[in-house]
Amino acid sequence: MERGVFTEHDGRPAVRFQRRYPHAVERVWAAVSEPAGLAHWFPSTVRIEPRAGGAIEFADDPNTEPATGEVLRYEPPHALSFTWGGAELHFELAPDGKDGCTLTLTNVLEARDTAARNAAGWTVCLAELDKSLAGAATWGPHGEHAEPWEPLYDAYVTDGMPHGAPIPRAEG
């Protein structure tokens, strides 16, 4: 599995992921920009006004409160960016070869110490996206069949990614 890297985006801390898919840009665009596609892999239920300046609403994530962000960029089928709390998410799609595309996901962080936590979370989410695009059954990143989050977090910390922000733990 491809892991995220710590970087900066316009002077702010960020984690970045890149995936290559053997699918047309339009297919991956639907998975990352439409509520029906996002439902298979994104951590929240999403409602979006598909335009720059539109609202994007997040609900049903057991680790965060419901929230509303702003769509910063909406350029189908190549770019979607929006705010989520003090963070930003940027999805960029580019054709790659005859029948494929590359997805770059950049999570611009609210704080540097959230890097390992968010990288682990997006690693779980992107594994679900990979399954969904491959036609496999998915239960989302909070489902019992999703990749375990804590070992990924521990691996990012061991590799030196900034950490220290509160992290979700299973209750019990």
pLDDT at position 97: 86
Cα dihedral 150, 154, 159, 165 sign: positive
CB 149 within 8 Å of CB 124: yes
**Rounded Cα–Cα distance for residues 2 and 119 (Å):** 11
DSSP 116-150: HHHHHHHHHHHHHHHHHHTT-----TTSTTSPPHH
**Rounded Cα–Cα distance for residues 164 and 104 (Å):** 25
Average pLDDT, the chain: 93
Cα dihedral 105, 10, 113, 83 sign: negative
pLDDT at position 65: 84
Contact partners, residue 97, CB within 8 Å, separation at least 6: none
- Identify the band that residue 145 occupies on the pLDDT scale cut at 50, 70 and 90: confident
CB 103 within 8 Å of CB 24: no
Query: pLDDT for 59-117, tens place per residue?
Result: 988 888 889 999 999 999 999 999 999 999 999 999 998 889 999 999 999 999 999 99
Whether the model pTM is above 0.75: yes
Helix, strand or coil for residue 91?
A: strand
**Rounded Cα–Cα distance for residues 146 and 135 (Å):** 15
CB 75 within 8 Å of CB 82: no
- Identify the band that residue 1 occupies on the pLDDT scale cut at 50, 70 and 90: low
pLDDT at position 171: 43
5-159 classified as CATH 3.40.50.300: no
pLDDT at position 172: 34
Which amino acid belongs to residue 127?
A
pLDDT at position 74: 98
**By C-alpha distance, which of 66, 88, 16, 63 is closest to 167?**
63
